[in-house]
């Protein structure tokens, strides 16, 4: 499924998507298909994440933007070196300007060498400073209410890349009562907290939809890092269930005939694919596995071994 339901517009026949398994992260246009190609190895599952179909695609600064009525999707990839703070700030400042009154529904961030340091700070922490600066500049003291579900995944190249979808305001953000909201993490996790909510739900083009942020083995604000894959998997699934219930999608793991769902699971170690896929199969069934993408990528904290995200639409 496209993450934003397809609009029927006769003259808008282009599409925007994310493609995994590229040798280098980049924005690319081929015929009427446009998108972000990401240097994140695909281990199993669908290669493409459609963002918006049946749209008109244009370039705005560094971004490729797809628009269809109130719906918008965008992708960007820029080469970076040194601290990620200012490049992130500039990209997010532009992203927020492009919205033109729309609400961000979901963001995917691909952060070069996410756990490495450029100067005194880890790249993820520098990224968080730049992202927070952009939200604070745009929205002031109310900026946390504008922070959508998001993921931040490491890539093994020099490209800072972002993909997003947006649309009419009305999506409701939720938090996990067993986790500290990411935007309120204490300073031990960096000078500025991550700028995202745990999930959101609402109506997009008449269809009930929900977005689950990248979810890992964290309770409160601390990692539950017995450092066994099984323990981290169990804690992650527990968090996923809690957020889905908060959004009114408690059935989304088990699925139903009236629910279209997609999952992405990021694994720090590719060798964990077999064990994680089998355990996830026992929860979501064969239909759920067919709708799951498994990727090898570094995660925002060095001790975390996996992360799960999802998108859901009632049909």
Domain chopping of the chain, boundaries: 14-314
Q: Name the band, by pLDDT with cuts 50, 70 and 90, for residue 33.
A: confident
What is the rounded distance in angstroms from the CA atom of residue 125 to the CA atom of residue 263? 26
DSSP 192: S
Contacts of 67 (CB under 8 A, 6+ apart): 55, 56, 58
Q: Output the pLDDT for position 140.
A: 96
Q: Name the band, by pLDDT with cuts 50, 70 and 90, for residue 256.
A: confident
Residue among 115, 103, 120 nearest 171 (CA): 103
**What ranges in 72-211 are assigned the alpha helix state H?**
85-98, 123-139
Q: Output the pLDDT for position 227.
A: 77
Q: What is the pTM of this model?
A: 0.95
Q: Output the pLDDT for position 1.
A: 53
Q: Output the pLDDT for position 8.
A: 37
Looking at the predicted structure, is the pLDDT value of residue 184 above 80? yes
Looking at the predicted structure, is the pLDDT value of residue 196 above 50? yes
Terminal-to-terminal C-alpha distance of the chain: 11
Looking at the predicted structure, is the pLDDT value of residue 90 above 90? yes
- Evaluate the CA torsion angle 22, 73, 214, 204 in order and state its sign: negative
90: its two tokens: 């500039």
The mean pLDDT of the chain is: 94
More confident residue, 282 or 7: 282
Q: Output the pLDDT for position 10.
A: 36
Q: What are the pLDDT digits (tens) for 100-137?
A: 999 999 999 999 999 999 888 999 999 999 999 999 99
Q: Output the pLDDT for position 68.
A: 94
What is the rounded distance in angstroms from the CA atom of residue 78 to the CA atom of residue 17? 17
Looking at the predicted structure, is the pLDDT value of residue 11 above 90? no
Q: Output the pLDDT for position 12.
A: 62
Q: At 177, is the secondary structure helix, strand, or coil?
A: coil
Q: What are the pLDDT digits (tens) for 127-182?
A: 999 999 999 999 999 999 999 999 999 999 999 999 999 999 999 999 999 999 99
Beta-ladder partners of 53: 15
How many CA atoms are closer than 13 Å to the CA of 110, on its beta-carbon side? 33
Looking at the predicted structure, is the pLDDT value of residue 98 above 60? yes
Say which CATH superfamily domain 14-314 falls into: RutC-like (3.30.1330.40)
């Amino acid at each position: 499924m496209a993450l934003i339901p397809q609009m029927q517009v006769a003259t808008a026949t282009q599409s925007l998507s994310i493609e995994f398994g590229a040798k280098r992260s980049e924005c690319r246009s081929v015929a009427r298909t446009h998108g972000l190609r990401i240097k994140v190895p695909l281990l199993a599952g669908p290669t493409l994440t459609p963002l918006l179909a049946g749209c008109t695609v244009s370039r705005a600064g560094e971004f490729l933007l797809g628009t269809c009525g109130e719906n918008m999707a965008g992708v960007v990839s820029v080469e970076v070196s040194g601290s990620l703070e200012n490049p992130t700030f500039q990209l997010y400042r532009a992203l927020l300007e492009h919205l033109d009154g729309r609400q961000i529904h979901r963001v995917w961030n691909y952060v070069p060498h996410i756990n490495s340091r450029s100067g005194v700070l880890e790249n993820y922490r520098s990224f968080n400073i730049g992202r927070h600066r952009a939200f604070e500049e745009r929205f002031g003291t109310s900026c946390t209410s504008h922070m959508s579900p998001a993921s931040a995944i490491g890539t093994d190249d020099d490209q800072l890349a972002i993909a997003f979808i947006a649309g009419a305001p009305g999506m409701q953000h939720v938090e996990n009562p067993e986790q500290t909201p990411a935007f309120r993490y204490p300073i031990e996790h960096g000078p500025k907290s991550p700028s995202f909510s745990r999930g959101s739900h609402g109506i997009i083009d008449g269809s009930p939809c929900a977005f689950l942020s990248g979810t890992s083995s964290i309770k409160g604000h601390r990692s539950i890092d017995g450092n066994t894959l099984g323990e981290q998997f169990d804690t992650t699934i527990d968090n996923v269930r809690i957020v889905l219930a908060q959004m009114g999608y408690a059935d989304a793991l088990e699925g139903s005939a009236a629910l279209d769902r997609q999952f992405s699971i990021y694994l720090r170690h590719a060798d964990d694919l077999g064990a994680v896929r089998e355990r996830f199969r026992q929860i979501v069934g064969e239909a759920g596995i067919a709708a799951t993408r498994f990727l090898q990528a570094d995660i925002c904290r060095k001790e975390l071994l996996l992360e799960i995200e999802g998108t859901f639409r009632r049909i």
